[in-house]
Chain A
Amino acid sequence: MNAIEIVGLSKTYGKIVALNNMSLVVPEGTIYGLVGPNGSGKTTLIKALVGSLRPNSGYVQVLGLDPLKDKWQLRKQIGYMPQSPALYDDLSARDNILFFGKAQNVPDLHRKVDEILLFAELTPRANDLVRTFSGGMKKRVSLCCTLIHNPRIIFLDEPTAAVDPNLKMQSWILFRKLAQNGVTIFVSTHQMDEVLLCDRVTILRNGEILAVDTPQNILKLGKSRLKISVNDEERTAVIDSNPNDLASELQKFGLDKNITSVELQSDNIEDIILSIVHEKEKEGRS
């Protein structure tokens, strides 16, 4: 079953096109990544899916429900973590989580709050006011508020920005565990290393989908630059990331004893995504 189905979704703010005829499908139990530069439409798309934005046109279903018409049924089953912490600074971490847990009538709430605080390594600061927390700690509290009612689908808008590497890793381990238990994770990110942790990725630019694929397939779109120095003269060949291409390129040189060094520079996921975005921008200009 698909957790999310979007067909021809569009949203404009005056003359600005935030989402342009967007269509995509997210299978249940997957970690689905959204990447793209600022203003590409990631947050707008998430807001349309959680029912806090009314699109101009298009069809959206989340868990088989319309985010606007079936909002009460849907809101029990989704978790939403906005980009800003969206917490009450004058309440403690515990009280913030309790507040959002009470909204969803979570059974055995106090025990669950203790558990989630432990996971987020916030137990020692649980009763401190959120206003005394660092940005990363606020993100952790926000994540706890999102997960407290065991949602079936979780929308995360840049969840690990400003979070330290250790907790970031733990968060992704948790996301994977949740996905294995059938929870769908829909996550927007700026951090390219996180793209590789998704099952499927959509690259957005100016409200349009540029590519949808697995991170592995996106990596295959990358090029490698083979730099060969012959008698200290550097020659560069751009090849596909394929061992056969590398071999045939080297055969041209017969691995001469004068070849003093061989260096292979492969595009990383960031290079590939940026090149896809730039290519589309060039196409748009021409």
Chain B
Amino acid sequence: MKHTIIIAQRVLAQLKGDRRFLALSIVGPLIIIYFLKLLLDTFPPMVNVKSFTIPFCAFIVHFLSFILCAILLVQERTRGTLERMMIGGFSKTSIIGGYSLGYFGLATVQVIAVLSESIWLFKLSYDIQTVALMFMVIWLLAIVSVMLGIFISTFAKQEAHVLPFIPIIILPSVFLTGLIIPPGGLPVWAQILGKCLPLHYAVNIINEIIKAEYSVSAILVDFGILTGYIFVLLVLASLTLKETE
């Protein structure tokens, strides 16, 4: 556990030292949400644009957390620091744990910033319980994205190798998870594929909790599946992160 905390502290200190990265992680999503506002303002009045806002926030956090974490971990490999950490006495588990813990901090700031801006910009009026649930679901999705980033990074030898995973993993989320339209009208195979993507469960929860009346039991299963993703990806990342060539 001590090693996990040492790595998490190092990740946070590194993020603090890399201002461009920090700007991309925090300011980037805020700008994208502003662009979303500009786009949604062009929609005819009969379209309930508010229903798109929070799911899109979740998607932006999901995408950025995944890509930034994967690239940073690939950088560790290409620069030789990952190998040095392992030979220097850090275990695989502490490296994955430390990275996740470090990113939890960043994800927390990201989610707070994105949610606050959306509520203010789109003049959303949700009670505190709903906002807290929104925070929790996007935060969980950010952690899933970090785990996914760690897992995917094991298949990339250079930063550029991460890019092909964007159309494979992230872009299908836009079309198949209910982010734009409910997936019920899609072919069955596409619905099944959509259910394999973590964003599906986050969007399900958000769409449920923004209803005037929602039942907690309806979202519990989706919360459970989202949490399950964290553990499955943690195990996969541990199995695929290689200590030896």
- Which residues of chain A have C-beta atoms less than 8 A from B129's C-beta? none
| A: interface residue count bin | 20 to 34
Interface flags for A73-107 (1: CB within 8 Å of B; 0: not) read 00110101011111110110001000110111000
**Assembly CA distance A78 to B87 (angstroms):** 8
A51 adjacent to chain B (CB < 8 Å) = yes
Tell me whether A52 is interfacial, beta carbon within 8 Å. Answer: yes
B79 at the interface (CB under 8 A from A): yes
Interface flag for B10 (CB, 8 Å): yes
The answer to whether B224 has its CB under 8 Å from any CB of chain A is no
Also in contact, A91 and B10, with CB within 8 A (given A51-B244, A54-B245, A68-B244): yes
Q: What B residues does A53 contact at CB under 8 A?
A: 244-245
Whether, in the assembled complex, B86 has its beta carbon less than 8 Å from a beta carbon of chain A, the answer is yes
Q: In the complex, are the beta carbons of A52 and B17 less than 8 A apart?
A: no
A91 / chain B contacts, CB cutoff of 8 Å: 10, 13-14, 17
Is A137's beta carbon under 8 Å from chain B? no
The reply on A161 being an interface residue by CB < 8 A is no
| Given A47-B245, A54-B245, A75-B89, also A80-B84 (CB < 8 A) | yes
Q: Which of A51, A78, A84, A99 contacts B80 (CB 8 A)?
A: A84
Cβ contacts under 8 Å, B10 to chain A: 88, 91, 95, 99
Task: Say yes or no: A52 contacts B89, CB within 8 Å.
Answer: no
Q: How many residues of B contact A (CB 8 A)?
A: 22
- Are B89 and A104 touching (Cβ within 8 A)? yes
CB distance from B74 to the nearest CB of A (A): 15
Is B13 a contact of A86 with CB atoms below 8 Å?
no
Establish whether residues A99 and B87, one from each chain, have CB atoms under 8 Å apart when the complex forms.
no
Q: Residue B90 at the A interface, CB < 8 A? A: yes
User: Do A90 and B79 contact each other (CB < 8 Å), given the known contacts A51-B87, A80-B84?
Assistant: no
From B18, B79, B81, B243, contact of A52 by CB (8 A): B243
Cβ-based interface call for B159 (8 A): no
**Interface code B1-41, partner A: CB below 8 Å = 1, 0 otherwise?**
00100100010011101100000000000000000000000
Q: Among the listed B6, B81, B87, which residue makes an inter-chain contact with A88, where contact means beta carbons less than 8 Å apart?
A: B81
Q: Does B85 contact A (CB under 8 A)?
A: yes
Q: Give Cα distance in the complex from A81 to B79, angstroms.
A: 13
Q: A54-B244, A86-B79 are in contact. Are A103 and B17 (CB under 8 A)?
A: no
Q: In the complex, A85 Cα to B87 Cα: how many Å?
A: 15
Does A103 lie within 8 Å of B245, measured CB to CB? no
Tell me whether A52 and B87 are in contact in the complex, defined as CB-CB below 8 angstroms, given that A86-B79, A103-B3, A103-B6 are known contacts. Answer: yes
Asked if B167 is at the interface (CB within 8 A of a chain A CB), the reply is no
CB of B222 within 8 A of chain A?
no
Contact status B88-A52, CB under 8 Å: no
Q: Is B83 an interface residue (CB 8 A)?
A: yes
> Is B245's CB under 8 angstroms from A88's CB?
no
Residues of B near A126 (CB, < 8 A) are none
6 nearest A-B residue pairs (beta carbon): A90-B17, A86-B80, A103-B89, A86-B84, A90-B18, A54-B244
Query: Can you list 11 residue pairs at the A/B interface with Cβ under 8 Å?
Result: A50-B87, A72-B89, A75-B88, A85-B80, A86-B79, A86-B84, A99-B6, A100-B84, A102-B6, A103-B85, A129-B17
